[in-house]
Structure formats: structure tokens, C-alpha cells
Amino acid sequence: MKIPFNKPYFTGKETKYIEQAVRNGKISGDGAFTKRCHEFFENKFGFKKVLLTTSCTDALEMAAILIDIKEGDEVIIPSYTFVSSANAFVLRNARIVFADSSSNNPNLDVDQIEGLINDKTKAIVVVHYAGIANDMQKVMDLAAKYGLYVIEDAAQAIDSYYRDQPLGAIGDLAAFSFHETKNVISGEGGMIVINNEKFMDRAEIIREKGTNRSAFFRGEIDKYGWVDIGSSFLPADVTAAILLAQLENLDKIQQRRKEIWAIYHKALTVLAEEGYIKLPVIPEYATNNGHMFYILCRSEKERQGLIQHLKKHDILAVFHYLSLHKSTFFHKIHDQRKLPMTDYYSDHLLRLPFYYELSPDDQELIIKLIYEFYSQC
Ligand SMILES: *Cc1c(COP(=O)(O)O)cnc(C)c1O
């Protein structure tokens, strides 16, 4: 592909830091680079406690263990999301209650959540799609009213805000991803944010195979052992070394990505005004973090036509999630409720090439070809 959909960006310091990690002679988890990444997030975003994990998927699995999900518990999750948002809770035998997306954007339609809550409901999982905040005040009010936990799937939401609060700092727990398709990357990688203090000690234990090894290394206890369930959720320090190089360039990365987003948005506004496509809408309470640029096509067929038109010119644009409630794994378990907005995004949303090094010429070409396609419609 001449213009791929995504291309990982390296800031230049990654290899230097990897080399340093190797020289440190300690490349397993919780080494010097992991600590520096933790400090970065706690200082920059004021997160109370963070722990790097091997992926966002693992951070979500930790969240499900921390809130003690048991068979019969219900968890409300949008159907328009990545598999892991739901799978983490399925692994703990929760019953997944899929909720529909909003008509403004693929995030949860918060006004429909209350109707899905019953005695068995234990948590609401919000996914900040494209880094755009859910209406968190409404979500947190509902959670308080019914005594539910809120987990933020903030995989796409680094450096984005709900009013003046950073995403990831609002729910009881939050999960971030540093997979190579995200804004800031370490290959595979993730992080759990613990905002509810009651989970802070146990999070360390679950992440360290159910042992109190973290407290031992801090000198708080004189031997460590098996105290709880857990798994191996901590990344090697070489992974953290890559991440730190990225984090040190966060502002630069974000500035460029927001620029790319703004260029798409401005250039495609005329096409949207003429009714050919719809553009993403950022609610007044949310910010844009330049994670992704999507358009909404008028039909699935037209979307396929546009994908083909771009492909002819060696450009890759891709659609996104297939409704989870209709998936091979889940459709028989789903309670039959129709989720029309989820299906709408599944069939109409198209993501345009988006990466730090997308050149102005290439971006101009993409925009020109989109106009060319619609001039024939
Ligand atoms: C990328 C992503 C994940 C998974 O992240 P990994 O780090 O690959 O496990 C989960 N949820 C959402 C919404 C994502 O975009």
C-alpha cells in the first residue's frame, strides 16, 4: 500500500532506551523504565495509581477480577466496541448486557442505560470511542444511584478529556492500550488506572500472579507468597523503555495528530454539508485527541465503493467493529433486543488513513479522491 491505514511512528529514542534497559541488566517487569512510565502518568494526568500491563485486554481482565465479577453478575457494555471490552467479563462468567450506541457518536446512549439495570447489574463499561468522551456525569450519577462500578475502556483515549477531567481518571478503574495502532505505542502494551482506593493494594497482587511480591520489593513485608488469584499481567521493562520514549514526545505526537484530524475535518465539511457523508461530532463536554478520523457513509454499498476507489489508488481505508451482539460467539446468547445504532455504525463508519507521518501531499490526495468518488454518485 502506498498509503497504509496505520503506520507506527518511532520518536528516535526507542532503541537507545531499549539498549539502556538491557544494560541495566534487568529486563523483567517493574524495572526503572516501568517506574518512569508510572510517574509520567501520575504527574501528567493526576491519576492516583497506575500499573503498566501487557495489554489493554489484560488491564480489562484485571478490572473484572478486581470488582469480583461472579457468575450471574450483569455488566452493561456497548455492542459497538472491540472484543476485549466484553471478553474480559465473559472470562469471569458475567452475563453481558449489550447497550446501543448514541445517535451522535458510537459511544453508549446513556439515556438507555437505566432501563438495562436490575438487581444483578454490577458494572457499566464505557468505551471512549475515537478518544471522544462518553457523557460521564450521567454515567457516574447512575452508578452512584444503583451502586455500580464504572470501568472506562480508555484504549483510544490518551490525553483526552471530559470537561476538565482526563479520561481514565473518572471511573473506578480504567484501561489504556499502547498497541501499535494507538497514539502512543509499545508494540503490545497497556495500563490499568486505579481511581477507587479500595482496589489499589489488590491490583498489585493480581498483576503479580496473586502474590504480594510488590510489597515485598518495597520492603513492607519480609517474605512474599500466594495470597489471592492473579496472573502475569506486567510487561517486560524493555516494553516500558519503548513506551517512555513515546511518552516523552506525547505533546509533539498529539499536536501533529490533531492537525491531521483538523485538515480532514475542514476539507470534508463541504461534502458533509451537501449531504454525501456525515462527520464526527465532538460533544461540548468532550475533547478530540486525534486518535482517529472517521466518516459516516450513506449506505454500506456506498462505503464499499469508496473503499474500492481508494484501494485502486493504493490507499487503505477500513471500516471498524462488527456489532458484538451479532457475533458468531454471542448472537445465540444475546437477549434479542435490536441495537439499531450499533448496526448503523457497523455498516456505515469508515476510518481514513491516520498516522503521525502521513504527509500533507498524501492527505491531500486522499481528500481529492474522496471528492472524486462522490462526484460520480
Ligand atoms: C485497542 C483496543 C483494545 C485492546 O487493546 P490491546 O492493548 O490490544 O489489548 C480494547 N478496547 C478498545 C476500545 C480498543 O480500541
Identical fold at 14-247 and 250-375?
no
Q: For residue 352, what is its C-alpha cell?
A: 481514513
Query: From the alpha carbon of 178, which atom of ligand 1 is closest?
Result: 7
> What count of other Cβ atoms lies within 10 Å of the Cβ of residue 314?
10
Identity of the amino acid at 292: M
- Fold for the domain defined by 14-247: Aspartate Aminotransferase; domain 2 (3.40.640)
Q: Is 179 in the pocket of ligand 1 (CB under 6 A)?
A: yes
Nearest CA to ligand 1 atom 8: 179
Q: What pLDDT does residue 104 have? A: 94
Q: What pLDDT does residue 79 have? A: 98
Q: Domain residues of the chain, as ranges?
A: 14-247, 250-375
Res 44 pLDDT > 90: yes
CATH class label, 250-375: alpha beta
How far, in Å, from the CA of 59 to the mean position of ligand 1?
10
Q: What pLDDT does residue 26 have? A: 87
What is the reported pTM? 0.98
How far, in Å, from the CA of 87 to the mean position of ligand 1?
11
For range 67-76, the mean pLDDT: 98
Summarize pLDDT for 13-41 with one digit per residue, the tens: 999 999 999 999 989 999 999 999 999 99
How far, in Å, from the CA of 182 to the mean position of ligand 1?
9
Give 320-325's long-range contacts (Cβ < 8 A, gap of 24+). Answer: 320/294, 320/345, 320/346, 320/349, 320/351, 321/80, 321/81, 321/82, 321/345, 321/346, 322/346, 323/79, 323/80, 324/77, 324/79, 324/80, 324/81, 324/83, 324/86, 324/98, 325/79, 325/98
For range 350-362, the mean pLDDT: 98
Q: Is 353 in the pocket of ligand 1 (CB under 6 A)?
A: no
How far, in Å, from the CA of 5 to the mean position of ligand 1?
17
Q: What pLDDT does residue 173 have? A: 98
Q: What is the mean pLDDT of the chain?
A: 97
Res 377 pLDDT > 90: no
Taking the C-alpha atoms of residue 186 and residue 8, their distance in angstroms, rounded to an integer, is 10
Q: Is 186 in the pocket of ligand 1 (CB under 6 A)?
A: no
Percentage of the chain surpassing pLDDT 70? 100
Nearest by Cα to 208 from 237, 230, 238: 230
Summarize pLDDT for 295-323 with one digit per residue, the tens: 999 999 999 999 999 999 999 999 999 99
Summarize pLDDT for 184-220 with one digit per residue, the tens: 999 999 999 999 999 999 999 999 999 999 999 899 9
Q: What pLDDT does residue 264 have? A: 98
Nearest CA to ligand 1 atom 2: 155
